[in-house]
Amino acid sequence: MVTVTGFINLHTLCYRTMVLKHLNPRKADRATLMFSFHYLIPLSALILSYIPSQNHPEVFKETQSLHPEYYFPIYQTFGGFADSHHFCMTFNTICLAAATFYVPCIGSYWKHVAMKILRSNISSMTSNPSRIMFETLIKGLSLQILLPLCCYVPVTIVYCWNKYSGTQILICQYTLAFLGTLPCIFDPLLQIYFIMPYRATIRKFLACTPLVPVSREEESKSFFHHVWKFFGFESRHKIADEVARRNRISSF
What's the rounded Cα separation, in Å, for the pair 248 and 252? 7
CA angle 104, 108, 109 (to 5 degrees): 120
In this prediction, residues 60-72 reach a mean pLDDT of 77
pLDDT of 242 above 70: no
Per-residue model confidence (pLDDT) at position 77: 67
Confidence of residue 13 (pLDDT cuts 50, 70, 90): confident
In this prediction, residues 109-119 reach a mean pLDDT of 78
What's the rounded Cα separation, in Å, for the pair 64 and 76? 10
Per-residue model confidence (pLDDT) at position 8: 77
CATH of the domain at 73: 1.20.1070
Domain total of the chain: 1
Q: What is the pLDDT of residues 167-183, one digit of tens each?
A: 777 777 777 778 877 87
* Structural contact between residues 76 and 64, judged by C-beta atoms closer than 8 angstroms: no
Q: What is the pLDDT of residues 125-169, one digit of tens each?
A: 666 776 677 777 777 777 777 787 787 788 778 877 877 777 777
Domain range for 118 is: 2-251
pLDDT of 32 above 80: yes
pLDDT of 79 above 70: no
pLDDT of 30 above 80: yes
Per-residue model confidence (pLDDT) at position 243: 46
Per-residue model confidence (pLDDT) at position 219: 45
Measuring CA to CA, which residue among 209, 44, 2, 228 is closest to residue 137?
A: 228
Q: What is the mean pLDDT of the chain?
A: 72
Per-residue model confidence (pLDDT) at position 194: 78
In this prediction, residues 223-233 reach a mean pLDDT of 47
pLDDT of 189 above 80: yes
Measuring CA to CA, which residue among 220, 222, 248 is closest to residue 24?
A: 220
Write out the chain in H/E/C secondary structure.
Answer: CHHHHHHHHHHHHHHHHHHHHHCCHHHHHHHHHHHHHHHHHHHHHHHHHCCCCCCHHHHHHHHHHHCCCCCCHHHCCCCCCCCCCCHHHHHHHHHHHHHHHHHHHHHHHHHHHHHHHHHHCCCCCCCHHHHHHHHHHHHHHHHHHHHHHHHHHHHHHHHHHHHHHCCCCCCHHHHHHHHHHHHHHHHHHHHHHHCHHHHHHHHHHHCCCCCCCCCHHHHHHHHHHHHHHHCCCCCHHHHHHHHHHHHHHHHC
Which range is most confident: 30-39, 53-62, 170-179, 212-221? 30-39
Q: Which residue has the higher pLDDT, 151 or 250?
A: 151
In this prediction, residues 52-81 reach a mean pLDDT of 74
What's the rounded Cα separation, in Å, for the pair 86 and 90? 6
pLDDT of 39 above 80: yes
Per-residue model confidence (pLDDT) at position 239: 44
What's the rounded Cα separation, in Å, for the pair 209 and 202? 10
167: Cβ contacts below 8 Å, ≥ 6 apart: 161
Measuring CA to CA, which residue among 48, 11, 235 is closest to residue 123?
A: 235
Confidence of residue 82 (pLDDT cuts 50, 70, 90): low
Please state the pTM of the whole predicted model: 0.59
Amino acid at 135: E
